Amino acid sequence: MDALGIDGVGVSFDGVPAVDGVTLGVAPGEVLGILGPSGSGKSTLLRAVAGLERLGSGSVSWHGDDITALAVHRRGFALMFQDGQLFPHRTVAQNIAYPLRITRASGQAERVVDLLDLVGLPGFGERRVTELSGGEQQRVALARSLAGKPRLLLLDEPLSSLDRELRERLAGDLRRILVATGTTAVFVTHDQDEAFAVSDRVAVMMRGRLEQVGTPAEVWRRPVNAAVARFLGYTT
Ligand code: ADP
Ligand code: MG
């Protein structure tokens, strides 16, 4: 059975559909990429899964249980955005431990050390966030997102504020980290290289609708229609 179920989800703003009847499942431990041009409804769909949008239609489920009406903080999901939204004047360790403090977990210091190793920033605990590069800040944000062992990680363009070369390196690292931790994740991006590098399967969205779902190879080799082909850069 799928971990996450998205069933006929629709979200409209002032009567205009932003997400239009999307049905999609994410298997346990799977990294699903949502790929599409700007304005295609990717963020709105992710926010709907998180519980941050009122659904006009459809439902969201977790291992078969309908969670459409469940409050955001009770879903056990973590969200990470383009800008990691760290506390700038706190240390790296304080930022990463923030979700742990809320749950009063023991063994916090050890957990922070493990998380810093995991994201490739060993020994960075006492640094200030403002001293870090953009890429390092996103690694810290990822460590913080994983700190509470979320049952689902939702990532909205987490690499989009970084330059191309750094983005490629981080995309590879992100995939390795998600796989190593067995994290079930939905990864939103407008960048096909990034989507293909990070995801087990890619869902292509255009104008609020789901056009195609498949492995990176399937989507790349056999775009389902002319619109997807054009978006992927085929000059037909
Ligand atoms: P993407 O993340 O793929 O760029 P979005 O989900 O942000 O797309 O937006 C999809 C559509 O919904 C766009 O036309 C956008 O302008 C509209 N939209 C998104 N959020 C809101 C909002 N809070 N109020 C009104 N319109 C919105
Ligand atoms: Mg977006």
Q: How confident is the model at residue 100 (pLDDT cuts 50, 70, 90)?
A: confident
Q: Dump pLDDT digits (tens) for 196-225.
A: 999 999 999 999 999 999 999 999 999 999
**What pLDDT score does 153 carry?**
98
In this structure, the number of other CB atoms found within 10 A of the CB of residue 62 comes to 18
Gap between the Cα atoms of 97 and 66, Å rounded: 31
Strand partners, 66: 61
In this structure, the number of other CB atoms found within 10 A of the CB of residue 13 comes to 11
Nearest CA to ligand 1 atom 21: 13
Indicate the pTM of the whole model: 0.95
* Atom number, ligand 1, closest to the C-alpha of residue 40: 3
In this predicted structure, which of 37-46, 52-61, 82-91, 142-151 has the lowest mean pLDDT? 82-91
ipTM of predicted complex = 0.99
Mutate to test the pocket of ligand 1, among 40, 44, 79, 190 (most ligand atoms within 8 A of CB): 44
36 lines ligand 1 (CB under 6 A): yes
* E strands in the chain: 4-13, 16-26, 31-35, 57-62, 65-66, 77-80, 152-156, 185-189, 201-206, 209-214
Give the percent of the chain with pLDDT over 70.
Answer: 98
Relative orientation angle of helices 108-118 and 92-103, to the nearest 10 degrees: 130
Reported as half-sphere exposure (CB side, CA atoms, 13 A), residue 127 has a value of 14
39 lines ligand 1 (CB under 6 A): yes
Answer whether 72's CB lies under 8 Å from 46's CB: no
